Amino acid sequence: PQNTGNKICIIFTIYIFIYLTIQTNELVKELEQSKISFFNAQIKPHFIYNTLSNIIALCYTDNIKAASLLGKFSTYLRLIFDNKDSQSLVNIAEELKLIDAYVEIEKARFPEKITYKLQVSEDLLLLKIPAFSIQPFVENAIRHGLFNKVDDGTVELSITQQQEQLFVKVQDNGIGMTQETLKYVLNGTNQNQGIGIMNVKQRLHYMGNTKLKIDSNPDEGTVVAITLPIAEIPFPIFE
């Protein structure tokens, strides 16, 4: 029975890989035609391959954990594919699902490395925000802030509302950045940092009346603060 379970798990993972390859080829064609680079910044091939490799490895040792991780990966891909349009709006709950899926995938690879804390009021979950306006900052905090840290680290996400504005804060106690590196990240000239940050920055700028502030110090961590004008977007939308 164990061997059968392993084979089923591996076959299913391979099927997902083939499906993903087909979908990626279609998306490349769309990007070439539309000249949209937005989606391409949201999903990295090495992240996909690392995740699939981890799932296959778990198929031999822990089928239940492999199935759980595959479920998170499926959720992650579905949300990415469903919102590849740079103009997409999603409710906060959907953005948090994407973040949760990403965090769980990375925690499966480095179980003792990452602590993720979330603070948000339930009555804010159906408010609409631009797709991928928070997830890239959480991903950046984990990938560049915590992975390069010697010991374990924490990422804290808080979402609050004050009058007609929504305040989002992503804070980590990772390795931080120098002011020079931070400038490169904000300008999009550092290819090893700032995953998706330039895309978020540009889309927020086009929305108007938004603010994005990033503070960082070496060996102390990074704080990202985003302000969105609730009154100028169709908030709330109940579905």
Residue 210 sits at the vertex; the CA angle it makes with 205 and 213, to the nearest 5 degrees, is 90
Q: What is the pLDDT of residue 119?
A: 97
Question: Does residue 205 register a pLDDT over 80?
Answer: no
**Higher model confidence: residue 196 or residue 239?**
196
The residue to which tokens 């594919």 are assigned: 81
Contact predicate 126/92, CB 8 Å:
yes
Strands 153-162 vs 114-120: parallel, antiparallel or unpaired:
parallel
Distance CA 28, CA 187 (A): 25
| Concatenated DSSP letters of 53-82 | HHHHHHHHH-HHHHHHHHHHHHHHHHHHHH
3-state DSSP call for residue 218? coil
pLDDT in tens, 29-65: 554 444 444 444 555 667 777 888 888 888 888 888 8
Give the residues across from 159 on adjacent strands. Answer: 120, 168
Contact predicate 105/138, CB 8 Å:
no
Distance CA 122, CA 92 (A): 10
Q: Which residue intervals of 90-173 are DSSP H helices?
A: 92-109, 135-140
Q: What is the pLDDT of residue 169?
A: 97
pLDDT in tens, 95-153: 999 999 999 999 988 878 899 999 999 999 999 888 888 998 999 899 889 988 888 99
Going by pLDDT thresholds of 50, 70 and 90, the confidence category of residue 86 is low
